[in-house]
Structure 1
Amino acid sequence: MKRLLKLAPFALLLPTLASASVVWKGDFETGNLSQWDREQSVSSSRLQVVSASVREGRYALKTIVRQGDDPINASGNRNELLYLSREATGSEYFYKWSTLFPSSFPRSSKWQIFTQWHHDGNGGSPPLEFYVVNDELLLRAGGSNGKIVYRAPLRREHWNDFVLHVKWSPDPRVGFLELYHNGKLALPLTKVATQYSGQRNYLKLGLYRDESIAPEGVVLHDGFTMATKLEDVMPPVVAAPAPVTNPAPSHPAPVTRPGEGSASEQPSPIAQVPSSSDEATPGSGGIVPDDPMLGTGMVPAASCGASSTGGTPLLVVVALALVAMLGRRKQAPAYARARRSRSPRR
């Protein structure tokens, strides 16, 4: 019993350790922007924490950009949040978030960036960026002359659920990207440079677009999570239970009349997403002196989120094993006494 009590504290830690891979959350569940390090916006009304349209939890971010919004006196118009993650070369992370483009989101042949990992150098396009051109989503690595590694049709009024797996490195033989889009593997692991040499990256979320776009742009973001394990940003899909098969009856089966019984439904095949040949290049997103990093050297999505109970099954197994061990220790003395009582006395 004493041994069981000594092991109990370690068993209680198991559920906590199961979700220890979550590094940071910017999911707005605080009801404000306090999870993020800095804002780049012309007004607080351009970056709103809202509860009317969310993907998970209670709150999401509504980003609004109007022509002329230029809070840092650089190219383009923007309103963005910054998280100074400063991913080191050789580090590896999973990033999960959801983005919705309303029906009013402008259709333009110019670039509109909604998520980017910017470098801490002075000027130039970021080494990793998600953006929209016309009616297409694109992911590009390597800046303005880099490689578009993923593209998909833009669906308005639909939550796009992203899980991005990144190995950060300026070496294309070491760095890589892997993308899950709406719960499916959209980009298999692809070797590519994800950093510029000698520089670290930081996250920017919101909307940043070419200054020639006139209509108001609105984008919603929700659920941003940074972790070191896939299971803490995209829990496995639970398979549907197998149909129960009734045992064969011992008496003759009744005759089925016409019209009785039911037919099983078969799932329809998943449509393949067509690709487009249209593309445009986002302009350079120069960093101005007030940028915080300048010169530092530095699925099924509604259920997505960090697991807090992943260790529970293991806890049950440990507890049962300890109880069984204790039971065997109690049985041994009783068995010995029984043998002595049956043995003839000498």
Structure 2
Amino acid sequence: MWLVPFVASAGIVWRGDFETGDRSQYSSTQMVSSDRLQVVTSPVAEGKYALKATVRQGDDPINSSGNRNELVYLGREASGSEYYYRWKVMFPADYPSVDTWQLFTQWHHDGCCGSPPVEFYVRGEEIRLSLPGTGEVPWKTKLVRGVWHEFILHAKWHADPKVGFVELWHNQKLVLPKRGAITMYSGQKNYLKLGLYRNDTVKPVGVVYHDGFVQATTLADVLPPVTQPPPPPPVDAGTPPPVDAGSPGEEEPVEVDAGSPEEEEPGEADAGVPPVVEEPEPGPTMPGSSAPPQGMPSEDVLNSEVGCSTGGSSLAAFALLGLLGVMRVRRRRS
């Protein structure tokens, strides 16, 4: 995109954009009939109107070399003058592909003969800029049909290549940096010719569209306006977004209070009733042995407890021995 904003300026010298709806912006025409240079409403590159230039083999309105139908603008650029020119050109899908010259824009000298000092033309499948004064073709690009090609030429008109120069943009890209060139012939002035001028050996009908020509003293004056994106729509903060209430006839879901998770309440502990402890069932006994009655410790257990006790008092030991003696006496008596 262009970074230079478009601002209306007194730097604009002349417009040849056909927005008058006719050819009145130009000084004169070189055409065999009015249908060869038509102002049309479609296709256009900008505004409402464009020029359709048509050439058929044999079209020679000025009895000169080649076939042509061209508009003429007598700007008469003087030696040492400097300008920017912008215009747009479209070659339709059926534009002829021939290995010879087909000029669509030229700055011609006001002398009688010879090639113009600056010319734009098609040869085969290329678009070219030529400087016949030095025999150079400093820029060329592929011919693309069916699209608008935009050109901006910055030129200083002079017969001395150390003073004169050209600079070129194509489709908003600088494709030829400023370079010295013979841009006019000594003692002569230049003028513009726009349309189609080609070798008379070309047989197919040729059509070229032109639009938006403007001449100015600064680059900013010839740049197309920068299109600003539309502002976003205002935000309505007072209207809540719509709520999908579901389809009619459906049963509304039951609301659940999910804010307080349901906790399991602990049971009350009964501290007054001790828990019931089940007595272990007596294990099996070996045959021939007698088990002590339930609830009474066996002698082995007592003896084991006595033998293993290291922290009891001597009084507890004597008590146990006395109890053991009483149990033995009772057994003898029984």
1:164: Cα distance to partner? 0.5
Aligned with 2:143 (options 144, 154, 177):
154
Q: Distance in 2 between matches of 1:74 and 1:197?
A: 23
Larger proportion of helix: 1
Partner residue of 1:224?
Answer: 213
Q: Deviations over 1:119-149 (max 9, x none)?
A: 0111101000000000000001134x62111
1:52: Cα distance to partner? 1.4
Query: Structure 1's 173 and 236: CA in aligned 2 closer, same or farther, altered over 3 A?
Result: farther
**1:142 touches 1:195 (CA, 8 Å); kept in 2?**
no
Q: Distance in 1 between matches of 2:227 and 2:8?
A: 18
Q: Distance in 2 between matches of 1:54 and 1:18?
A: 22
Partner residue of 1:163?
Answer: 152
Three-state SS of the structure 1 residue aligned to 2:61 is: coil
Give the structure-1-normalised TM-score: 0.63
Q: Distance in 1 between matches of 2:192 and 2:184?
A: 13
Query: Structure 1's 238 and 48: CA in aligned 2 closer, same or farther, altered over 3 A?
Result: closer
Q: Does 1:121 align with 2:121?
A: no
Q: Distance in 2 between matches of 1:64 and 1:182?
A: 24
Aligned with 2:54 (options 52, 64, 69):
64
Q: Deviations over 1:297-334 (max 9, x none)?
A: xxxxxxxxxxxxxxxxxxxxxxxxxxxxxxxxxxxxxx
1:122 is matched by which residue type in structure 2?
C
1:111 is matched by which residue type in structure 2?
W
1:235: Cα distance to partner? 4.9
Greater RCO, 1 or 2 (C-alpha within 8 Å, sep 6+): 1
Aligned with 2:39 (options 19, 35, 49):
49
User: Which segments of structure 1 move beyond 4 Å, counting only runs of 4 or more?
Assistant: 235-240
Q: Does 1:202 align with 2:224?
A: no
Q: Deviations over 1:84-134 (max 9, x none)?
A: 010000000000000000011100001000000000111101000000000
Three-state SS of the structure 1 residue aligned to 2:104 is: strand
2:118 is matched by which residue type in structure 1?
L
**1:69 touches 1:79 (CA, 8 Å); kept in 2?**
yes
Partner residue of 1:6?
Answer: none
Aligned with 1:88 (options 78, 93, 110):
78
Q: Distance in 2 between matches of 1:213 and 1:155?
A: 20
**1:105 touches 1:218 (CA, 8 Å); kept in 2?**
yes
Q: Deviations over 1:52-80 (max 9, x none)?
A: 10000000000000000000000000000
**1:83 touches 1:204 (CA, 8 Å); kept in 2?**
yes
Aligned with 2:28 (options 27, 30, 38):
38
Write the mapping of 1:157-306 to structure 2, written as runs, cut at 5 A: 157-235=146-224
1:238: Cα distance to partner? 7.7
Q: Distance in 1 between matches of 2:197 and 2:127?
A: 14
Three-state SS of the structure 2 residue aligned to 1:45 is: helix
2:178 is matched by which residue type in structure 1?
L
Q: Distance in 2 between matches of 1:91 and 1:116?
A: 17
1:35: Cα distance to partner? 0.3
Partner residue of 2:92?
Answer: 102
Three-state SS of the structure 2 residue aligned to 1:109 is: coil
Q: Percent identity?
A: 59
**1:142 touches 1:194 (CA, 8 Å); kept in 2?**
no
1:37 is matched by which residue type in structure 2?
S
Partner residue of 1:133?
Answer: 123
Q: Deviations over 1:185-213 (max 9, x none)?
A: 01111111100111110000000000000
1:43 is matched by which residue type in structure 2?
S
1:234 is matched by which residue type in structure 2?
L
Q: Distance in 2 between matches of 1:46 and 1:238?
A: 34
Three-state SS of the structure 1 residue aligned to 2:35 is: helix
Three-state SS of the structure 2 residue aligned to 1:56 is: coil
2:139 is matched by which residue type in structure 1?
Y
Q: Distance in 1 between matches of 2:108 and 2:91?
A: 22
Q: Does 1:20 align with 2:10?
A: yes
Q: Distance in 2 between matches of 1:62 and 1:119?
A: 25
Q: Distance in 1 between matches of 2:118 and 2:26?
A: 19
Three-state SS of the structure 1 residue aligned to 2:100 is: coil
Q: Deviations over 1:149-186 (max 9, x none)?
A: 11000000010001100000000000000101001101
Give the structure-2-normalised TM-score: 0.65
Q: Which has the larger radius of gyration?
A: 2
Q: Distance in 2 between matches of 1:36 and 1:203?
A: 10
Aligned with 2:68 (options 78, 87, 93):
78
Count of aligned pairs between the two proteins? 224
Q: Distance in 2 between matches of 1:85 and 1:224?
A: 13
Q: Distance in 2 between matches of 1:228 and 1:236?
A: 17
Task: Report the aligned-residue RMSD.
Answer: 1.7
